[in-house]
Amino acid sequence: MKLGILFSGRGSNLGALIDACADPDYPAEIVIAICNNPNASGIATAEKAGIPLQIINHREFESRDTFDAALDVTLKEAGVELVCNAGFMRILTDGFVSSWHNRQLNIHPSLLPAFKGLHVHERVLTAGVRISGASVHFVRAEMDEGPIIAQVAIPVELDDTPESLAERVLACEHELYPMAVRLVAEGKARVQGERVIIEGDPDMKAAPLFIPPLGK
């Protein structure tokens, strides 16, 4: 499956997907990475890996619609079959989301539907919840909404800071995202109604939940 990665910052999940795609047995390849921030440190990650890279600066467009139209054209010209948001800090228009319905994924650093939006780890600690994590889901028009493919849960420690919690969640994201993309690329994750069904699950459960350490 041909992937298009959208990112805005350090590109750590981009790096995780690059590493996954380097395995000859992985069922996907990155055909383009698109960044809306010309100063993003993740640009160097794509360049080092030799991934085709396009910088489309949203500040150079008159509106969200024209920016999203440029994204759409670039992705389709590259032959992208699945769009992966990897720290892409833009709210996409309804038209773009509709164009890529059930063909666009996002990763979010919480156990959705809890703690949507920004400043997640600060809000988690303020709320005093005992478990946090990350989620990969199909994108819908509403922010951080959509059928969940997979989640990972980690305990919130008593001495956690937003920085320490973010670091542990991010390490889990780097395993979770490639796993979720694999499920989609292999045709094992499909949307039924607004839930994801995983092929081979006799109970027709929704998303798998993994408790770290992953792969242990």
pLDDT in tens, 85-137: 999 999 999 999 999 999 999 999 999 999 999 999 999 999 999 999 999 99
Residue of higher predicted confidence among 207 and 168: 168
Please say if the pLDDT value at position 161 is more than 60.
yes
Place of tokens 């699945």: 82
Last residue of a domain, one of 77, 100, 123: 100
Please give the residue range of the domain that contains residue 80: 1-100
* pLDDT class of 199 with cuts at 50, 70, 90: confident
* pLDDT class of 207 with cuts at 50, 70, 90: low
At 205 the pLDDT is: 52
Query: Looking at residues 26-35, what average pLDDT do you find?
Result: 98
CATH number, domain of 30, equals 3.40.50.170
In angstroms, the CA 129 to CA 57 distance is 37
User: Which of 108, 121, 137, 174 is the catalytic position?
Assistant: 108
Q: Are residues 73 and 131 in the same domain?
A: no
Active site residue 174: no
Q: Are residues 77 and 115 in the same domain?
A: no
* pLDDT class of 12 with cuts at 50, 70, 90: very high
* pLDDT class of 18 with cuts at 50, 70, 90: very high
Q: Are residues 34 and 133 in the same domain?
A: no
Q: Which two tokens stand for residue 142?
A: 């509403």
Closest CA to 55 of 29, 31, 34: 34
Backbone conformation region of residue 180, classed left if phi is above 0, alpha if psi is from -120 to 50, else beta: alpha
List b or e across 78-91, with b for residues whose CB sees 16 or more CB atoms inside 10 angstroms.
Answer: bebbbbbbbbbebe
Instruction: Look over the chain and give the mean of its residue pLDDT values, rounded to a whole number.
Output: 93
In angstroms, the CA 23 to CA 53 distance is 20
In angstroms, the CA 107 to CA 105 distance is 7
Single pTM value for the model: 0.93
For 151, the 3-state DSSP assignment is strand
- From first CA to last CA, the distance across the chain in angstroms is 27
Q: Are residues 44 and 85 in the same domain?
A: yes
The total domain count for the chain is 2
* pLDDT class of 208 with cuts at 50, 70, 90: low
Beta bridge partner(s), residue 198: 189
At 125 the pLDDT is: 98
In angstroms, the CA 13 to CA 5 distance is 9
